[in-house]
Structure 1
Amino acid sequence: MTKKSSSFACRDCGDTFARWAGRCPSCGAMNTIAEITAADARLAAKSAGQARAAAGLATESASAGSGTPIERMKTGSGELDRVLGGGLPVASAVLIGGEPGIGKSTLLAQVAGAVAAGQRVLYVTAEESTEQVRERLRRLGVARDSLDLAATSDGEAIAGALTSGTYRLVVVDSIQLVAVAGIDGEPGGVSQIRAAAAALVEAAKRGGTAVILVGHVTKDGTLAGPRLLEHLVDVVLSFEGDRYGDVRTLRAVKNRHGSTNEVALFRMASTGLVEVADPTGMFIADRDPGVPGSCVVPIMEGNRCLLVEVQALVNPTELVNPARKVSGCDSNRVAMVLAVLTRRLRLPLGTCDVFVNVTGGARIAEPAADLAVGLALASAWREVPIPADLVALGEVGLGGELRPAGRYELRAAEARRLGFQRLIGPGAGSGRGRLVCSRLADAVEAALG
């Protein structure tokens, strides 16, 4: 029979011993040692170790410190500075991702040239030659003596430049091609990306230098490499847009030094990326309100309100499986609105080809555009244009009911500023030009008669 093992522990300090004693050898307390089981002994030993570790933990008060704001430097782009929270924080790491050809290198070349007007900057390319980068800088008109170029994929060399104190900003294009010696795997592999990112971020914070890393994206739009890459950096920016169009959107996915509710808009021109300071009406500038199937919706992009045009085309077909094509918005929500129109409003859309498009390269993600999609489809089917001064806002439920969207007053103010006098939706409120409808059928009748 196995003999039951036991130990002894001090009730005051928690230290464990092999035998009983009247005085604790650790804390000196008298008559505090008692018999415990082996399991309790292991637990007591673990607790004692944690207590000793906690005693050596360096802590400070949350109210301590100078209270001075984070030092930032201007990037030369007011839109980018606003997305970053007021400028590029020093000793920070920023990761910008986007599809190939979207304009990441162009944006960073402009930023590097602007910062180099007053600071020393290093632009490291692991994909191109220095002559290619120099030609791009000349084309953009930002080639400067204080902007150094380097073509290397050596992670240790780049980390050394970050800690040297020579440069205020270092741009690395791209992190997927940087390699660190002694790490298994090819550049672009999980191990290499993790090691390279960790080395560069640590060097940037230690050297007080800001670093901007360019990241490639996969087919589904996520950043290539381990998820740890996004956790290591301070800011993650997503650069989006239709590569065949000229509109580009820059949004913050993560920002330790600011808000993620800001969005910057640019236009790609021959001279580089041009800021769109007031983009509210640029997506409806070429709209023809006399064409059936066109409806305007005020959407929120971060803290900005943008008016975009939703177009719909309904065409009867003899095909067994009618076409359903959607561009610029969620195809699942369009399918849901189609089902509601067919079932609740008895529109025979099941035998028609349906095409829905958001003009200008804009993309709609919020459900508040459901009503605009529904009105555009109903207008296209009836071949009756929606009034030119009407905007629609509201989420459509499966029962045909309408649900309000947030920030109605801001959306209404932007619509009025651009000449739209009427707002239709479930939460439109009272006032001139407000059409309150609680059901999709009522909204269709109010808008189309």
Structure 2
Amino acid sequence: MEQTRHLVTELPGPKARQLMERQQAVVARGVSTMMPTFAVRAHDGIIEDVDGNRLIDLAAGIAVTSVGASAPKVVEAVQQQVAEFTHTCFMVTPYEGYVAVAEKLAELTPVLGPVRSALFNSGAEAVENAVKIARSYTGKQAVAAFDHAYHGRTSLTMSLTAKSMPYKHSFGPFAPEVYRVPGSYPYRDQLEGPQAAARAIEQLETQIGAENLAAVIMEPIQGEGGFIVPAAGFLPAIVQWCRENDVVFIADEIQTGFARTGRWFASEYEEIAPDLITTAKGIAGGMPLSAVTGRAEIMDAAHPSGLGGTYGGNPVACAAALGSMETIAEHDLAAAALQIERVARGYLERAQETDPRIGDIRGRGAMLAFELVNPETRAPDAALTAAVAAAARQAGVIALTCGTYGNVIRLLPPLTISDDLLTEGLGVILDALAHA
């Protein structure tokens, strides 16, 4: 597939407009879409739409298609498995693929000691089950999450998620025994990691109490909250406090996992060993799969048949995961993520020198973002951010926004994107910013 941006129609084109009419007639309004078109093919850094437009992909399906949307090893693995069988339910008639994925997770995840995994379908399912496991292991009920957190859209994971609109608004009541404490947001709180950790720990102790707290959950880099990288030392201090107080530390690596940040897992940057890790998104090259992986004594606390689900660890998704993980290792896509960071960060930093509206540039590997602000007050500028992203999309670049305040543009390209496509896409975004 040709790796060039090419627009043959305006967006949306005539075929896309017809599909939009069909969508509006039968798809619930709550399932909104961002790009004004419909995909038909995708490979590496390009998505082609129904009208023949080729778009630069800086989203990767929200960090899902890290190995590309049609990686050969994933395609081959899926085709072979589909020809054998599509489903038996692992809890009824098990199969090797599930075991093989669990073996790879035991090999790759930064969890100490013997490791176990349980497979599910989505990131939210993984988080829900991690909380169940932690509660079963500790015999305690309370769970603490952080400001700016995003953990999913189910009842419990909405409760853990910080941002109201669009994720929680009008959907309450929410799950009980969920608490929120301040995290680390260096650009805005100006705190060193140990200072921010001390602030969080004080609230954990005074507002919840370690004797009541089953788990603390945090993304090593907060995704939807704005690609916030905690200050150095914050995560190790929180993990140490959890260890000392019989509290399970859950690292939500759903967006950061599988080479996205330049390591297999973002937890490795701070050399922390979580008790449990939740993964999804980049695990299976676009097929629906998620996992909870953790210390054996914690994972085995749940009683037999207490974990599972009809489709959890589906054989086709497991085959895709094995193909995806093989692709990451064989092509050293962790190194590719670091190359993406070098190119993109340099490009953004040069732009920041002349445009003070770019308040902060942050992230790791191919998980980068820049925050747009009023240059005099540092107040978040959500309107500017939305305008820039919309203009980029009209020009054929798939650009995502995020952040509690809606003022962050995030970059999540496939790890297989070329430098040329990456710089062209960044150029389109920054040109949109210059003209906003």
TM value normalised by structure 1: 0.28
Q: Which has the larger radius of gyration?
A: 1
Name the structure, 1 or 2, with higher relative contact order (CA <8 Å, separation 6+).
2
TM value normalised by structure 2: 0.29
Q: Which structure's residues are more often strand, by fraction?
A: 1
Q: Which structure's residues are more often helix, by fraction?
A: 2
